[in-house]
């Protein structure tokens, strides 16, 4: 029996609990939630420290505001717990490196919640890429956006001290992780970061980023936005011998539409590809949460390595995030004047 404690029992905590409940010989011992709730069906801890120090708990799941991810991951590892933590892992690359050093000194499993890798369409894309039939990736384009309203100001995500940033850490980080997973690394990064509409200090509402691998020449572009005015997910991968386009993402809310992957091969001579030559795959169930839970629990039970959502995965993506935030060009700058 693997005994689990969950710290943070809002929407994400409940999603994680539902997935863990489906796994044989896993028991949720207690949960902690700062908000008073009447509908929690598990024993409730009086503090997060109670869960972190409980010797009867093997693994801790952290579903918290971003500012707590780093310190509570450190405390959990120091208390000899296996840890599953939502993204982002921390606010800085230096903090992630601290986590990795602590992780090396124990035999605990540490996994981060990059669940997009576990979506059926992404698994299909990875299988096609690994087959080698489509050649190397030439370029990728990712758009990830959502609509928010004035109620956003009331959430912790609207505060830089709690969120660490804006839409890039909220959603864009998932697209960056997919770029790294499916396309490879980047050593050149240029970005525009803005908060032109919601005007929150340190909490951006748009990021436009261009990344390049100077060795292979592969380029990826990201637009992460919360002035989309509708929810949207789109990932396009163009290769030497074809393309893969994923539009939509299957979620419990259904706000991103159907998860549809379109695949086609390119043509070496005219005419260009036609719609009839494309093959489409539609995935109607979101299995990502369950797959993540199984991967985490199996690694504990069988003492195997975490393969998806490792601390090194997190370090690579946070290096890009930090580079984007480090010296961003502001969209409010008068670029015309600068060019003159």
Which residue, among 329, 313, 319, 324, has the nearest Cα to 92 in the 3D structure?
Answer: 319
Question: What's the farthest any 2 CA atoms get from each other in the chain?
Answer: 69
103 shares a domain with 229: no
Whether 275 maps to a domain, the answer reads yes
Instruction: State how far the Cα of 273 lies from the Cα of 199, in Å rounded to an integer.
Output: 43
Q: State which of 49, 74, 108 marks the end of a domain.
A: 108
Query: H helices of 220-339, where?
Result: 288-302, 311-326, 335-339
pLDDT at 333: 42
The mean pLDDT of the chain is 93
Position 192 scores a pLDDT of 96
Q: In this structure, are residues 118 and 174 in contact, taking their beta carbons and an 8 Å threshold?
A: no
pLDDT tens figures, 197-224: 999 999 999 999 999 999 999 999 999 9
Asked if 257 and 225 sit in the same domain, the reply is yes
The whole-angstrom separation of Cα 61 and Cα 73 is 9
The reported pLDDT for the residue numbered 292 is 98
Range name among 66-75, 101-110, 172-181, 323-332 with the lowest pLDDT average: 323-332
> What tens digit of pLDDT does each residue of 246-288 get?
999 999 888 999 999 999 988 766 666 666 788 999 999 999 9
Domain finish residue from 91, 108, 125: 108
| Res 272: pLDDT | 66
Task: Tell me if 194 is assigned to some domain.
Answer: yes
Each residue's pLDDT tens digit, 161-194: 999 999 999 999 999 999 999 999 999 999 999 9
Q: Is the domain of 99 the same as that of 141?
A: no
Task: Answer yes or no: is 213 within a domain.
Answer: yes
Can you give the pLDDT at residue 266? Answer: 81
Nearest in space to 116 (alpha carbons), one of 318, 258, 308, 317: 308
Residues 83 and 226 in one domain: no
Band of the pLDDT at 39, cuts 50, 70, 90? confident
Domain CATH code at residue 93: 3.40.50.720
Are 247 and 186 contained in the same domain? yes
User: Are 104 and 137 in a shared domain?
Assistant: no
Confidence of residue 339 (pLDDT cuts 50, 70, 90): very low
Q: Report pLDDT for 38.
A: 73
Band of residue 336 on the pLDDT scale cut at 50, 70, 90: very low
Whole-number Å distance between alpha carbons of 309 and 317: 11
Residue 33 lies in a domain: yes
Split at pLDDT 50, 70, 90, the class of 35 is: confident
User: 209 with 61, same domain?
Assistant: no
DSSP designation for 44: B
Q: 296 in a domain, yes or no? A: no
- Give pLDDT, residue 332: 40
Indicate the number of domains in the chain. Answer: 2
Q: Are residues 56 and 142 located together in one domain of the fold?
A: no
Q: In this predicted structure, which of 128-132, 175-179, 324-328 has the lowest mean pLDDT?
A: 324-328
Mean pLDDT of 296-319: 97
What are the residues whose beta carbons fall under 8 Å from the beta carbon of 242, sequence distance 6 or more?
133, 134, 135, 263, 264, 265, 266
**Residue 329: pLDDT band by 50, 70, 90 thresholds?**
low
pLDDT for 328: 62
In a domain, 104, yes or no: yes
Q: Which domain holds residue 273?
A: 117-285+320-330
Q: Residue 331 above 90 pLDDT?
A: no
Does the pLDDT of residue 155 top 50, yes or no?
yes
Is residue 294, in this structure, part of any structural domain at all? Answer: no
């Amino acid at each position: 029996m693997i005994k689990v404690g969950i710290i943070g029992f809002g929407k994400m905590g409940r999603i994680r609990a539902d997935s863990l409940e489906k796994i044989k010989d896993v028991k949720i011992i207690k949960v902690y939630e700062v908000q008073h709730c009447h509908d929690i069906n598990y024993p409730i801890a009086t503090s997060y420290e109670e869960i972190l120090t409980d010797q009867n708990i093997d693994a801790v799941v952290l579903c918290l505001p971003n500012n707590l991810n780093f310190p509570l991951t450190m405390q959990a590892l120091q208390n000899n717990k296996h840890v599953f933590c939502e993204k982002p892992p921390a606010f800085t690359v230096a903090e992630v490196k601290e986590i990795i050093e602590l992780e090396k000194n124990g035999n605990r499993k540490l996994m981060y919640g990059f669940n997009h890798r576990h979506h059926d369409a992404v698994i299909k894309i990875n299988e096609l890429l690994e087959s080698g039939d489509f050649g190397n990736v030439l370029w990728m384009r990712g758009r990830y956006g959502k609509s928010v309203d004035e109620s956003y100001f009331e959430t912790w995500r609207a505060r830089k001290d709690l969120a660490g940033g804006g839409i890039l850490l909220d959603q864009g980080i998932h697209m960056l992780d997919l770029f790294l997973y499916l396309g490879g690394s980047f050593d050149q990064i240029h970005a525009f970061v803005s908060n032109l509409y919601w005007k929150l200090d340190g909490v951006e509402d748009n990021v436009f980023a261009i990344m390049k691998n100077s060795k292979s020449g592969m380029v990826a572009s990201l637009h992460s936005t919360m002035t989309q005015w509708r929810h949207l997910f789109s990932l396009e991968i163009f290769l030497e011998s074809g393309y893969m386009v994923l539009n939509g993402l299957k979620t419990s809310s259904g706000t991103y539409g159907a998860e549809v992957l379109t695949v086609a091969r390119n043509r070496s001579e005219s005419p260009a590809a036609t719609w009839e030559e494309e093959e489409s795959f539609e995935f109607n169930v979101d299995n990502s949460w369950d797959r993540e839970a199984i991967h985490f629990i199996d690694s504990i039970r069988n003492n195997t390595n975490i393969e998806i959502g490792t601390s090194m995965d997190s370090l690579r993506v946070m290096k890009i995030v930090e580079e984007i935030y480090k010296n961003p060009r502001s969209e409010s700058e008068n670029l015309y004047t600068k060019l003159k």
